[in-house]
Structure 1
């Protein structure tokens, strides 16, 4: 190699940014965490299982800046718990530039008629109410950033709008509506809201719906990790108020 052929440093589009990642130890969350770390982000890894967060910590710390762990169960967390999270982010990091929400709960296909009322309420809460409480608590801190992004992972509305998807399916439709509604309310601010709809992935959540999954289009969550980075970075601006999809067929 000559002196004029210096190696090019890898791009770090999230360098200097603080990103809160919920559902961090799930399939998509874990893949996105490592990709965001490589891209230079300082991550706050939120999840309900501390042992799995600890394992993810080791991988993320090797890939980029040292992350922070924040154990929290979305099912039991109250608005005060999310407010405390935002206060701690302000006190310990002084900023927040993005929220990537990958957490979801699905316990299997069940006819609505026979669904336990408590299970229905839990599905709506964990998959719709809790994500909104989280984002709502973080908005004042996000507004302080010169360029902030909220990215919500959503499911395919055609698939989860079919029979037996219950509270999870209904919550996913609400989460999609939240993307456009909230972004419209944030027009003129530096905070943008985007949806991310990956294609079918090999994850434990999908396995609960398809015991013998022979879908040839299944992909690994890592295939969508780079898109998470893009949507959280300045390159994500064209998708403001819209939903990125793997095939482009349902982009809003």
Structure 2
């Protein structure tokens, strides 16, 4: 259940979660619903989206009913992103938050041996698609009295090392995007911030670390309430920052 601090923190708000069926995306979507939000679940894999939908709609907690929106960030064009934003506007008349949890990482490899298509896909999903989706949603977000865009980013000190390829480069750029958008939107109702969680037990992390030897990672649910904090009015204190909460 949501804590007393988080209960009602997103009451009446509409939150779009990109990558809603991933490790943190799933946990954050459930936490946002428990905080009172109607959550638009964005993801590529419909069966996994359905499981997140069921976790919210059939929880027995009388939470706002979420909405599934199957969407392939890798293949979607800017026009597809614009259509997504239009459908949210037509369906709800508002958008109060955008949480970027979607990520693509296929394993460690040297630049010399990397597949060019895989390199380009990692840069696109982890950076370009995030920028396109944010751009498409900004007109709706500007209409809200208080709204937030939150980018989940990886530790630049770790993914800036050898073999992290397009994923590592995109994570550095996404962190820079937080500061750039914050400066551009400083006089608007749209808050921009980043969340840099610690190591989490996710399928993405398993591509780089042997699970039985991974002593640092925690369950993604540990950081779900931090996502709610940044999406709610409490996130004002973190505006323009990339926040690294303690595990």
Q: Would the TM-score normalized by the shorter structure come out above 0.5?
A: yes
Report the 3-state secondary structure (helix = DSSP H, G, I; strand = E; otherwise coil) of the residue aligned with 1:188. Answer: coil
1:47 corresponds to which of 32, 43, 49: 43
2 CA distance for matches of 1:226 and 1:124? 28
User: Is the counterpart of residue 240 in structure 1 residue 236 in structure 2?
Assistant: no
Aligned length: 241
1 CA distance for matches of 2:212 and 2:139? 43
Distance 1:211 1:57, change over 3 A: same
**Match of residue 70 from structure 2:** 71
| 1:236 Cα offset (Å) | 0.4
| 1:162 Cα offset (Å) | 0.3
**Match of residue 28 from structure 1:** 24
RMSD over aligned Cα, in angstroms? 1.5
- Structure showing greater radius of gyration is 1
User: Is the counterpart of residue 223 in structure 1 residue 222 in structure 2?
Assistant: yes
> Deviating runs (4+, > 3 A) in structure 1?
none
Deviations 1:15-72, CA, capped at 9 Å, x for gaps: 0000000000000000001111110000000000001111110111234100111000
Deviations 1:57-107, CA, capped at 9 Å, x for gaps: 011123410011100010000000000001001101000000011000000
| 1:113 Cα offset (Å) | 1.1
Distance 1:182 1:213, change over 3 A: farther
**Match of residue 5 from structure 1:** none
Q: Which runs of 5+ in 1 are unaligned?
A: 1-7
**Match of residue 91 from structure 2:** 92
> Contact 1:17 / 1:41 at 8 angstroms: preserved in 2?
yes
**Match of residue 3 from structure 1:** none
